[in-house]
Amino acid sequence: MSAESSQKANERLLLAQLADIGDLVLTTPAIAALRETCPRATIDLLAFEHALPVIPAGLIDAAIPLKRGANSGRSFYSPTNLRTVFSLNRRAYDTVIFFHHFTLRAGVFKFWLIAKACGAKGIIGLKNQNIGFLTDSIDDAGFGALHQAQYWLELVGLLGASREPRPAQVKREPLPGDILPTGDKPRVVIHTGSGGYSKARRWPAARFAAVARRLRQSHDAEIVLVGSQTDEPGGAGQFAGLTVKNLLGRTTLPQLADVIGGADLFIGADSGVMHIAATTGTAVISIFGPSNAEAWRPWTIGTGSTVLRSGVECSPCNYVGQALGAREGCAARTCMKLVTVEQVAATAQRILDKGPGLKTGCDAVAPPAWQDRRLRILDIPVNAITYASWLQTIAAWIRGSGGAKHVCTVNPEFIMIAQNDPIFFAILQRAAICAPDGVGLLWASRYLGAPLPERVTGSDGVPFIARHAAERGWKLFLLGAAEGVAERAAAMLQASCPGLLIAGAHGGSPSASDEDRIVELVNKSGADILFVAYGAPEQDKWIARNLPRLQVSMAMGVGGALDFIAGVIPRAPGWMQRRGLEWLYRLLRQPWRWRRMLRLPRFVLAVRRQARG
C-alpha cells in the first residue's frame, strides 16, 4: 500500500448534517459511497439526535448527537450542544464534510464554528458567495439544479468516492407482535403530515381520507396511518367511519420504515417520512406544492415513484435557486388545493392494479430557450419586445392550444418589490413575458449595455390589444378594480373599438376564498384574454396561482389601467407620458405615494452596482 493510500485508509472524517430526518436519509447514499471507498477510515456523523435512528449499522463509526429544540437555529447554541461541538477537537479529525447549502450568512457562523472546533485541515462543502473557509468544494448551482442526494454524492466524490447514483438506506426493525397481521388485501400506508418545518407542504387530511375511502371501495385496501401525533393534530379524525390501522406515534423510525416496506403503496406529501418510504422499495406517491420537487423528489433508484403537482406558476416558492424563498408558502395554498382527490386516487388505483406507473418527475415545463436570453435587471428577466412583436405572439397563443400564458408588465417598483418578496420574484422568473413597463427599465437597459427597443406598458397595452381584438374577434374579460370600474372600462373600450367582444367584467377580489368562483366565471365566459387589475403584486400572484386552470390564452396584470380607461383616475398629459414623467404626475396627484417612490432611487443605485459587478 502506498503512503498516500495508507493515509487515506486511516483518515478520520467528520460528516455534518444538521437538517431534518429526510435530509439525513438523502445523505446516506454519499455516506455509503464514502464507506465503500474508505473502508478502514473513521467516519463519524454529527447530526440532530431525533434523526440519527434512521442510520443503518455499518455506515458510520460513531454518531455525535445534538439536541434540537423548537427553533433549530437557536437550539444549536444551547450549552449542551456547544459542549458537544467544542469537544470535537479531541477526536483529531483530518477532514470535515458539510452536507449543507450555505444559504444564510447568519447561519454560516455555526458551520465555521464546527470547522474550527474540530480542527480539521480539510473542510469540504458547497461553494457560494456566503462562505470562504472551505479548502475543497464544488460550486453550489442552487436548489434543484441537482437532487439533494446527488449534491452529496458529488461532494464525497472529492475524496475519490463514486458519484454514481445509488439508493438511500435506512435502518429497519419489525414491529413487536402481530400489530399488522398478514393478509391478501393490498396495504396502503398514508402519512398526512409534513414534519414541523413547513406546514405549507401538507395536503389536507380530509383529502387523504377521501382517497382512502375510494381505495377501500375499489380495492378493499387495508389503510395504515403513520407519523407522529403532532404531524396533523386531529387528522386521524378525518378517517372516522373508515376501518384503518392507526399507528400515529406508535413506531420508531426503523419500525416505520419496516411498516412502509411491507406495504403495496405509500401516499404522502413532501416530508421525512416520504423519504424513508422511498428507501423501502414500496411504490410512492408524493404530493408537492410550495417545496422544490427537483431538489427533494423521492430518491428512488431502479423503482418507480410518482410526484403529483398542480403546476401552478408560483410553485415552487421555497428553496429555489440560491434562496430559501417563502418557507410557509402563501395563505391561499392553491398549489396544494389544485392537486385533487380524483388525481391522487386514480394514480393509486393504477399502481395497485400493477398498471404502468408514473416515473419520478414534475409537470413543470422548462422555459423556452429564448427566455434564457432575456435581459436581467437585478435578476429579473425583461423581454426586449415591441407592441408589434407582442401582438404576433398573442395571435400565436390564441391560434395554438398550449394553455394560458402569463404576461407581467414590469417597472422599477415591481423589481424592487420582488427583491424582498420571494413568491413575486419566482413568478417573474417564470412568466411567459415580462414586458418593460417603465422608463426606468429603458434607462437601466441602456446603462447595462443592452438597450430595450421600446416601453410596453399595461396602460397602453389594454387599449392597443382591444383595438386588434375587435378586428380579429378575440374576446376579453376584465377583472378587478373597484366596484363597477371593470364594467365602465368595458363600455368605454367597446365605444372606442366597435365590434369588440367583452366576454365579462367583474370586480371580485384576489382572496383565496373567491378564486374558485372567479375562475369558473372566467372559464364559462369563453374569453381569449384576461386582464386582471388587483394591483401589483397581488394581481400577478392571483394569475400565477390559477394559471393551470384558466381557459384563456393570455392573462395579464394591468394595475390601474382599468381606472384610467374608465376615467376614474386621469392619466398624465401626453407630453409627460412621452418624457417618462407619469410617476411625477401621479405623485403630484397622490402625495401619499412618496414612500413608494423611494424605491426609484434605490433601483438606480442597485442597477449601478449591477453594472460595476
Q: What is the pLDDT of residues 395-454, one digit of tens each?
A: 999 999 789 999 999 999 999 999 999 999 999 999 999 999 988 999 999 999 999 999
Query: Across all residues in the chain, what is the average pLDDT?
Result: 90
| Boundary of a domain, candidates 289, 318, 352 | 352
What SS3 class is residue 225? strand
In a domain, 567, yes or no: yes
pLDDT of residue 187: 96
Q: Is the pLDDT assigned to residue 372 strictly greater than 60?
A: no
| Boundary of a domain, candidates 301, 319, 352 | 352
In a shared domain, residues 237 and 374: no
Please state, in angstroms and as integers, the Cα–Cα distance from residue 567 to each residue in 373, 491, 541, following that order: 39, 11, 26
Taking the C-alpha atoms of residue 433 and residue 381, their distance in angstroms, rounded to an integer, is 9
Q: What is the pLDDT of residues 33-83, one digit of tens each?
A: 999 999 999 999 999 999 999 999 999 999 999 998 766 668 889 999 999
In a shared domain, residues 437 and 554: yes
Q: Compute the residue count for the chain.
A: 613
Question: Which position has the higher pLDDT, 73 or 262?
Answer: 262
In a domain, 593, yes or no: no
In a shared domain, residues 445 and 387: yes
CATH assignment of the domain containing 303: 3.40.50.2000
In a shared domain, residues 413 and 279: no
β partners of residue 433: 407
Report the amino acid identity of residue 467: R
Q: Which residues of 563-591 are buried (b: 16+ CB within 10 A; e: fewer)?
A: bbbbeeeebbeeeebeeebbbeebeeeee
In a domain, 251, yes or no: yes
In a shared domain, residues 293 and 439: no
In a shared domain, residues 413 and 326: no
With residues binned 3-state (H G I as helix, E B as strand, rest as coil), the percentages for the chain, rounded to 5, are: 40, 15, 40
In a domain, 18, yes or no: yes
In a domain, 270, yes or no: yes
In a shared domain, residues 393 and 291: no
β partners of residue 191: 268
pTM for the full model? 0.90
In a shared domain, residues 209 and 77: no
> Residue 412 sits in which domain range?
369-578
pLDDT of residue 365: 38
In a domain, 180, yes or no: no
pLDDT of residue 568: 81
pLDDT of residue 370: 39
In a shared domain, residues 86 and 211: no
Q: What DSSP designation does 460 have? A: H
Q: Strands, DSSP E only, in 73-162?
A: 95-98, 122-127, 136-139
| Boundary of a domain, candidates 108, 136, 157 | 157
In a domain, 573, yes or no: yes
The listed range with the strongest mean pLDDT (172-186, 360-374, 524-538) is: 524-538
Q: Is the pLDDT assigned to residue 120 strictly greater than 80?
A: yes
In a shared domain, residues 112 and 17: yes
In a domain, 592, yes or no: no
In a shared domain, residues 519 and 375: yes
Q: What is the pLDDT of residues 554-567, one digit of tens each?
A: 999 998 899 889 98
Give the confidence band of 232 by pLDDT, cuts at 50, 70, 90. Answer: low
Taking the C-alpha atoms of residue 10 and residue 478, their distance in angstroms, rounded to an integer, is 71
Tally of domains within the chain: 3
In a shared domain, residues 462 and 499: yes
